[in-house]
C-alpha cells in the first residue's frame, strides 16, 4: 500500500485523486493546493487530509510518493523538494518549458533521477500500448513510418495560450514522447506552423502544425496537430512497416451506428476530452508508478524522457520559425557538468 499526496487540486489533480482513491494498492493521504478551498474540497471527497501549504507534503512522514499536478512553472521546484524529502514523484508533463531549468532540476536531483516518473499518460493508453507491443513483437517488421494525428476538440482561451510555451511545448509534447516511444532517438525535426485562428496568432502561437521527425533508425514520424476538431478529441496513430500496418483509431462513447437516407454506418462523436479518452491510461500509469516505487525500479517515462521531448519541442519551434530542418543530438544527455 503506497501513501500518496497530490500537489495541485485543479482539474488534473482531481483526476489523480480519484484514481489514487480507487486503486487497490494506493491510499490518498494528503492534498495540497495554495488556492482557496481546492485542496479541502478534493480531500474531503476521498477522506484525505488537505493543506494550502505545499511544504506540508514534503514534511509529512506518512507520505511515500507525490503526484505533481500543479502549474508547469512549479514542477521543477516541487520535484526537487520532493526528491530531497525522499519521496517518489509522478510529475505531469512537461517538466518545465525551459530546457535550462530542466537541466538545473536534473543537477539538483543528480543520482536520484530514478525517483521521478513523468506523466506521459498516452504510453499507457491500451490502444497505443497494444500497437507498441505488437510493433515490438515484430508483427509488421521494422517500423518505417509512424503517423500521429492529434487534434483537440476546441482551443483553450488566449490567456492560456499566452503562457503555454507554444503549441509544440504544450500540445505536441505528448506526440514527441509518443514518437520517441515508438522510434527511439530522433535526429532531425522539421515543422510547419499554421495561423488559422486570429486570436491564437495574436497570442503569438500557432493553432495547427505538422511536424516531421527522422529517427536514427531511418524511420520517419509525422505529427498532425490542430487546436480544434469538430468531431471531438481526434487521437489516432498508424505504425507502418514492411509486413503491414497497425493503427489505433478513435474511441467512441458507445458502439452505436446510425444509417438513414443521407448517411450509413455513422458512429457518434469521438470521446471528448482527454479525461474521458485517457481515463484508462491515467489508471494504468498510476499502477506502473506504484509498481516501480514498490519494487524500487526506475520508472518509465523518466525525467530524461521529459527532457528529450522538450528538446524536440524546442527544435520544432525553431524549425517552424526558420523553415529549416533542425538537427538533434541522437542521444541527448543532460548537460549536468555544464552547471
- Residues at the interface with its own copies (CB under 8 A): 22, 126-127, 130-131, 134, 139-140, 144-145, 147, 149, 151, 188, 190, 192, 194-196, 208, 210, 212, 214, 218-220, 222, 224, 226, 228-232, 240, 242-270, 323-325
> Least distance from C-beta 242 to its own copies, angstroms?
7
Nearer Cβ to its own copies (272/288): 272
Neighbouring C-beta atoms of residue 122, cutoff 10 Å: 25
> Least distance from C-beta 291 to its own copies, angstroms?
20
Nearer Cβ to its own copies (75/151): 151
Sheet (strand 49-51) strand order: 49-51, 26-32, 2-7, 65-68, 88-92, 116-119
Neighbouring C-beta atoms of residue 331, cutoff 10 Å: 11
> Least distance from C-beta 32 to its own copies, angstroms?
24
> Least distance from C-beta 13 to its own copies, angstroms?
19
Contact (CB, 8 A) for 134 and 250: no
3-state secondary structure of 331: coil
Nearer Cβ to its own copies (106/143): 143
Contact (CB, 8 A) for 183 and 194: no
> Least distance from C-beta 237 to its own copies, angstroms?
10
Nearer Cβ to its own copies (114/144): 144
Nearer Cβ to its own copies (247/333): 247
> Least distance from C-beta 155 to its own copies, angstroms?
11
Neighbouring C-beta atoms of residue 260, cutoff 10 Å: 7
| φ, ψ for residue 272, nearest 5 deg | -145, 100
Give the separation between CA 128 and CA 7, rounded to whole angstroms: 28
Nearer Cβ to its own copies (117/208): 208
3-state secondary structure of 71: coil
Query: Pseudo-torsion of CA 50, 56, 59, 61, nearest 10°?
Result: -10
Nearer Cβ to its own copies (241/306): 241
Nearer Cβ to its own copies (72/127): 127
> Least distance from C-beta 109 to its own copies, angstroms?
36
> Least distance from C-beta 292 to its own copies, angstroms?
23
81: enclosing H helix or E strand? helix 75-84
Nearer Cβ to its own copies (85/224): 224
Give the separation between CA 257 and CA 266, rounded to whole angstroms: 5
| Conformational region of residue 50, where left means phi above 0, alpha means psi within -120 to 50, and beta covers everything else | beta
> Least distance from C-beta 263 to its own copies, angstroms?
4
Give strand pairing partners of 151.
226, 234
| Conformational region of residue 311, where left means phi above 0, alpha means psi within -120 to 50, and beta covers everything else | alpha
Amino acid at each position: 500500500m503506497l501513501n500518496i499526496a497530490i500537489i495541485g487540486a485543479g482539474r488534473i489533480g482531481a483526476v489523480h485523486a480519484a484514481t489514487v482513491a480507487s486503486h487497490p494498492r494506493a491510499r490518498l493521504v494528503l492534498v495540497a493546493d495554495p488556492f482557496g478551498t481546492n485542496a479541502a474540497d478534493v480531500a474531503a471527497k476521498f477522506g484525505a487530509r488537505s493543506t494550502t501549504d505545499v511544504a506540508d507534503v514534503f514534511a509529512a512522514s506518512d507520505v511515500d510518493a507525490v503526484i505533481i499536478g500543479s502549474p508547469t512553472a512549479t514542477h521543477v521546484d516541487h520535484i526537487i523538494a520532493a526528491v530531497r524529502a525522499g519521496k517518489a514523484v509522478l510529475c505531469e508533463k512537461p517538466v518545465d518549458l525551459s530546457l535550462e531549468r530542466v537541466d538545473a532540476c536534473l543537477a539538483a536531483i543528480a543520482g536520484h533521477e530514478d525517483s521521478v516518473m513523468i506523466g506521459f499518460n498516452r504510453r499507457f493508453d491500451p490502444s497505443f500500448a497494444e500497437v507498441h507491443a505488437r510493433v515490438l513483437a515484430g508483427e509488421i517488421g521494422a517500423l518505417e513510418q509512424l503517423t500521429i494525428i492529434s487534434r483537440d476538440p476546441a482551443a483553450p482561451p488566449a490567456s492560456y495560450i499566452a503562457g503555454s510555451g507554444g503549441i509544440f511545448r504544450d500540445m505536441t509534447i505528448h506526440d514527441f514522447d509518443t514518437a520517441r516511444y515508438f522510434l527511439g532517438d530522433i535526429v532531425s525535426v522539421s515543422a510547419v506552423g499554421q495561423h488559422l485562428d486570429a486570436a491564437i496568432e495574436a497570442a503569438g502561437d500557432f493553432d495547427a502544425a505538422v511536424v516531421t521527425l527522422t529517427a536514427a533508425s531511418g524511420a520517419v514520424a509525422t505529427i498532425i496537430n490542430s487546436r480544434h476538431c469538430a468531431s471531438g478529441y481526434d487521437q489516432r496513430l498508424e505504425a507502418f512497416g514492411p509486413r503491414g500496418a497497425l493503427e489505433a483509431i478513435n474511441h467512441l462513447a458507445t458502439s452505436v451506428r446510425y444509417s438513414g437516407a443521407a448517411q450509413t454506418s455513422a458512429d457518434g462523436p469521438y470521446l471528448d476530452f482527454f479525461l474521458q479518452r485517457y481515463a484508462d491510461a491515467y489508471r494504468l500509469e498510476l499502477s506502473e508508478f506504484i509498481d516501480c516505487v514498490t519494487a524500487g525500479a526506475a520508472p518509465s517515462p523518466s525525467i530524461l524522457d521529459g527532457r528529450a521531448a522538450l528538446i524536440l519541442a524546442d527544435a520544432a519551434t525553431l524549425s517552424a520559425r526558420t523553415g529549416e530542418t533542425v538537427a538533434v543530438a541522437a542521444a541527448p544527455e543532460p548537460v549536468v557538468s555544464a552547471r
